[in-house]
A and B are shown apart, each in its own frame.
Chain A
């Protein structure tokens, strides 16, 4: 018996054998393409062939070109809007199914919610294009009712259309995790809150909502991450005002034949999404911690101040964000802050 077979027969070795098929699969399908993308981002396109000398010129260009910056920010904005709309609309639906539908009917309701998935994503997006069109049913009925005189133009071929379509497409993904977290709430906790003197509203705010937060957070992540990089919806209903970063990545790789630039944008988009979410979760934890320790008003003030500061940075625009150095510097500061919060502030209630 040699060393290799001995190692494979040990506990750890057995575990390794067991996970190896999916591990190999994951490596081949996820890690390898990802590594290729990262590799490409450091190369340069020379007409038809690739110049394989290492360079960070792509990153410098991507970070300083205002077009890329605008597309990236717009993607984040659209994703944030979609997430907000989806989660805010999903919560009452999940709440209704969990609290007001008879137990034996719940699976039927969940089943109904997944019905939109029965048709292809592409067809659903096309349908929205028809619904929101210049001569579509929305405009038709609003004009028929005399509410508007001319067809609404702000609902198709712009960012709003992208938000409406994506919010519809992702609704089940938001409803399900929120529903699960609501289902897990022990109903006697709600009665206990009532018994201790709280009204229905306060019971909701003090018990139901905090206990549903893990589900809400899961919904936020599930909706926000894929929508940043969505490509089909902006292409079909977004027009020029609704174009997002993924469309640019596509254009670079397939239309402009600049694969290294496309790869660079992809890597940057990934990094920025990761950092933004990290930042968001860290801030929520920080604000909750502040609210508990110093009071709700201080926490609200701190949150507002931070949001205003970020707005100021973006509206002051090119002056501050002009060079790759400052962009990277700001990102680094934000990420460092997030990591510090994760290390120093204990995990609070609601599991965040």
Chain B
């Protein structure tokens, strides 16, 4: 999907440089720097109140920033009004004009377009077709369901062919089923139109599913900016790790550090040797924590197989999800229980509380946080 310029590097369409924003005393954005590339699906992910909406509105031109620069297409956006920016925003509330029909809503931004009325009508029809609302043109806007309003908002923004489409939690008002359908449709739509999307969400799953790259934000700053897989596998901090998916933490003692390898003593797992890349930042001897995902521990249902890295534990809690079962397991030698997931396969039984079981683990799946 990504455009590449002559130099072979993906071209930046939005450049944020040391963006700071104060609301009075309140420091809402702290030194945000990022490059968003032409044609990518970019997400801003973070807990409530971390400044995602503020950053998105600053890009759209609805918030002045206190310092720093925002460039769109290489052009400094300082003092450029929202109606003169090559961006369009899909509002969290959708902001559908209640006094207009669906067609009039979608065609709202075409007033000044140099097109004949027939061309405009055709463009509106095509935009509605694209979001699957072909027959809804004459409908009054207030007579729409949440999902339909969301599609109208999308069509209304996309019809103007913006360089960047900004979406502020566009799916949060929908129920879970509808949200999953719309996630897939949004991805397809983005590939089809090739427009850069910047999506704001507080739902990490949504961000992982949809994005090419994700910026994780905490308290107004970007904590990590990576593609979904790196973000999940190599979180840059314990906080990011806790925010993205589920992660277990075991107390550890770093015993030796080198340029390539790190030696540590982990509660419940024993002595491990890790790659330097498994520790974000500087590894120093002393107390630390080791993180591992629920799927990185494998329950050995068939205890006949021997593994060289094997631990034993007692099942403390069982949570059955249908396709998966999550177990809270107290590992021998670890202070807290860890969460372990197991796929439910035909012929595989679900363990019961109080059972003891053997588990295998892989040192490559561990992350060390000093």
Contacts and interface: CB of A to CB of B under 8 A. Distances in A.
Interface of A: 186, 188-189, 191-199, 202, 206-207, 210-211, 349-350
B232 interface: no
Contact size class for B?
Answer: 20 to 34
A206 B108 CA distance: 9
A350 B100 CA distance: 9
Given A191-B62, A191-B82, A196 B93 contact: no
B97 A189 contact: yes
A189 B98 CA distance: 9
Nearest to B104: A349
Contacts, number: 56
A198 B111 contact: yes
B88 interface: yes
B80 to A, nearest CB: 12
A195 B89 contact: yes
Given A195-B60, A195-B62, 20 more contacts: A188-B91, A189-B95, A189-B97, A189-B98, A191-B82, A191-B89, A191-B91, A192-B89, A192-B95, A192-B97, A193-B108, A194-B81, A195-B82, A195-B83, A195-B87, A196-B108, A196-B109, A197-B83, A199-B83, A206-B108
B99 A196 contact: no
B7 to A, nearest CB: 33
A202 to B, nearest CB: 8
Contacts of A193: 97, 108
Interface string B209-249: 00000000000000000000000000000000000000000
B83 A194 contact: yes
Contacts of A207: 97
A192 B83 CA distance: 9
Contacts of A195: 60, 62, 82-83, 87-89, 157
Interface of B: 60, 62, 81-83, 87-89, 91, 93, 95, 97-100, 108-109, 111-112, 156-157, 160
Contacts of A210: 99
A202 B97 CA distance: 14
Nearest to A348: B99
B164 to A, nearest CB: 12
Nearest to B93: A188
Nearest to A213: B99
Q: Give the interface centre of B60, B87, B95, B100 by most chain A CB atoms within 10 Å.
A: B95
Contacts of B87: 195
Given A186-B95, A188-B95, A194 B100 contact: no
Contacts of B62: 191, 194-195
Given A191-B82, A195-B88, A186 B93 contact: yes
A350 B83 contact: no
B156 A196 contact: yes
Contact of B99 (A191, A194, A198, A211): A211
